[in-house]
Amino acid sequence: MRTIPQQTKQLTTTEAVVLGLLAEGERSGYDLLKRAEASVGHMWSPAKSQLYAILPRLVDGGLARRRAVRQRSRPDKQVYRLTPVGRRALTTWLEQPSPRSWDELLLKIFFGRLVPAAVLLQQLDEYREREEARLEEYRTIEQKIADDPKSRHGYLTLRYGLAFARARLRWLDAAVKELSE
Amino acid sequence: MRTIPQQTKQLTTTEAVVLGLLAEGERSGYDLLKRAEASVGHMWSPAKSQLYAILPRLVDGGLARRRAVRQRSRPDKQVYRLTPVGRRALTTWLEQPSPRSWDELLLKIFFGRLVPAAVLLQQLDEYREREEARLEEYRTIEQKIADDPKSRHGYLTLRYGLAFARARLRWLDAAVKELSE
DNA sequence: GCATACATGTAAATGGTTACATGATTGG
DNA sequence: CCAATCATGTAACCATTTACATGTATGC
């Protein structure tokens, strides 16, 4: 049995996003920046310098392959393509439980077509619990400060928290429903 | 005319938060960590090491003063208090237009009692425009991908964006109303 | 006897942003 | 002629996190 080269180290969010975009097909750094801007960029957008730093790293790690493309009327470019190892790293990232933040959860949903719906449902479920706990916490705080005129400003931000915890739970419900079909 | 010592450099968000908490009164690093956890921590919470790094910097910059407190049954501690310069730096930060993120906007509201309501209303107003633009953008995208089965996952995250842009606008309305009284 | 709260820090790594640098081609 | 697009990077800086380090006092 041969051992498959493994990325032991965890992907950073930015790396995962780059892999996710690369999963659509062969792309140059410039392409990736444009694509990101128009889609996933609303959730996560790397700086140019960071992107160009990451791409060679992915190649070194065996997650992507580079190919030089000659062009006449444009500057030559390097295009990158996912390797099977890279694709595996991406799905592993997608499967990895307990997203650390909403952004991460959303990214996993965004790139979720690469993975069975059950994986996403699990991610959503885990987050639901956290969100419910948070809502509970906010409600406790609310009862403490609701009518205290001194905490007017704090109360405003708390109301933001309450509204958003509830909205997130509603979205989670809808997402679970949608992905269960 | 004497020149007042000025912090020319912008405060980082974490520094602003520390100043904000210090505005409540004299506190030790340990106190600040506890306080943050229970209140502003839901929006912004610095690591321990960062807090302990920032406090001496504030003293160096003339924004805070340090005082050693001897204790019998507890380890001795250092408590920090805002100087007038520090308070000024904080209100300048609060007044500074165009918050770069929601987090920053929320923090400014949270510490907003230190500043006339008009300042906050201006901040809210600026953000409203941005949020309306964003909602517009999302709606444009929605029309493009709504019925494309290939963008099911992207559509889910877009719906998150739409729901939240709308929720933010509702919150902005409520906040403006509340602060206009 | 052990966990927790009190109290403060250092060292190292990392992940990311901003600014700088260059240059060809296309379209108005 | 000028602006925008295509194309790729380096250098410097920064804010922040994680891990390490130490020690007392209180309450169960």
What mean pLDDT comes out for the span B133-145? 92
Which nucleotide is nearest to B53 if distance is taken from CA to C1'?
A: C9
| Higher-pLDDT residue of A151, B111 | B111
Closest residue by C-alpha to C1' distance, nucleotide D17 = B47
Q: From the CA atom positions of chain A, what is the Rg in Å?
A: 21
What mean pLDDT comes out for the span B28-39? 91
CA–CA min distance B68, chain A (Å):
30
Q: Look at B178 and A156 and tell me if their CB atoms are within 8 Å.
A: yes
Q: Which of B109, B110, B156 sits opposite A178 (nearest CB)?
A: B156
- What does the alpha-carbon distance between residue B103 and residue B177 come to, in Å, rounded to a whole number? 20
* pLDDT value for A38: 82
* pLDDT value for B100: 86
User: HEC profile for A126-159?
Assistant: HHHHHHHHHHHHHHHHHHHHCCCHHHHHHHHHHH
**pTM of the full structure:** 0.92
**A7-16, A162-171, B6-15: which has the highest mean pLDDT?**
A162-171
Q: What is the pLDDT of residues A105-133, one digit of tens each?
A: 999 999 999 999 999 999 999 999 999 99
- Whether nucleic acid strand C comes within 7 Å of the CB of B53, the answer is yes
Number of neighbours of residue A134 by Cβ within 10 angstroms: 17
Q: Residue for token digits 């201006």?
A: B122
Q: Look at B110 and A164 and tell me if their CB atoms are within 8 Å.
A: no
Q: How confident is the model at residue A149 (pLDDT cuts 50, 70, 90)?
A: confident
- What does the alpha-carbon distance between residue B54 and residue A104 come to, in Å, rounded to a whole number? 29
* pLDDT value for B2: 34
Q: Look at A157 and B113 and tell me if their CB atoms are within 8 Å.
A: no
What mean pLDDT comes out for the span A19-35? 95
Asked if residues B14 and B46 have their Cβ atoms less than 8 Å apart, the reply is yes
| Higher-pLDDT residue of A10, B65 | B65
Q: What is the pLDDT of residues A35-46, one digit of tens each?
A: 888 889 899 999
| Higher-pLDDT residue of B130, B1 | B130
